Homo-oligomer: A and B are copies of this chain.
Amino acid sequence: MSTPTTTRDVSGPAFSPLYRQIKELLTQDLQSGLWKPGEVIPSEFELAARFKVSQGTVRKAIDELAAENLLVRRQGKGTFVATHAEQNTQYRFLRLRPDDDRPRALQRRLLECSRARAAADIARALEIKAGDPAVLVRRLLLDGEQAVVLDEIWLPGRAFKGLTHERLSTYRGPMYALFEAEFGIRMIRAEEKIRAVAADASAAALLAVPPGAPLLSVERRSFTYGERPVELRRGLYRTDAHHYRNELS
């Protein structure tokens, strides 16, 4: 590893400390699939030797990647690529909680999985062209007998070629784990826009509420490596016995 770029390189890029350059290299290896979700990455000392920097510098790079939930450290075992397939990280992005706060597993009911052409708004959100192939998934999440979430999920068609109703309904585990395992697409972060809306007839029927009842509308855009949007998810949540929980700091 050469000397870090400094501000004295008038013609060059902005100053970037060594550990950030290492972080960038590690991110590239993650993105390329060299290390897959759930796998161990090389030890800090090995990476340090490979990059010709000190262990402390590699450590700081990994620190940041761990803070962003891209890597997971396990003392004595090693550093692992984060995955949505593990028990404790399942439904990491779902903020809906039962009011009594006794977490229970939600049942899934798949309603639809079809191919369509992306309308203008969908295409814009996914950064593809209007009319490009897309996949539409609709499903319910149930707490016991009660449907609480109606999701409408749009995915870019080219990246999710083999995604079928059959495959989705037989897969054990969260949808995002399937995306990792079958399509090599890992959801890194997401943005949500939340509104209160009135239930239309079709949503009302599926969620067993009167038409016009207030529902939480949660529009999520999920991103993979390189800030690339790979999912647009429109959720309608019943919040009479559940709530969306958020932490501010």
Residues of A whose CB lies within 8 Å of any CB of B are 67-69, 92-93, 95, 188-198, 212-217, 220, 237, 239, 243-249
Contact = CB atoms under 8 A, between A and B. Distances in A.
Nearest to A242: B195
A239 B215 CA distance: 12
Interface of A is mostly: strand
Contact of A191 (B93, B212, B216, B245): B245
B191 A246 contact: yes
A216 B195 contact: yes
Contact of A215 (B193, B214, B243, B247): B214
| Nearest 6 CB-CB pairings of A with B | A196-B214, A195-B239, A196-B196, A214-B214, A194-B244, A189-B249
Contacts of A249: 68-69, 188-190
Contacts of A95: 246, 248
A150 B217 CA distance: 20
A191 B239 contact: no
B244 A189 contact: no
Contacts of A190: 247-249
A97 to B, nearest CB: 8
A247 B191 contact: yes
B243 A189 contact: no
A91 B193 CA distance: 18
Nearest to A219: B243
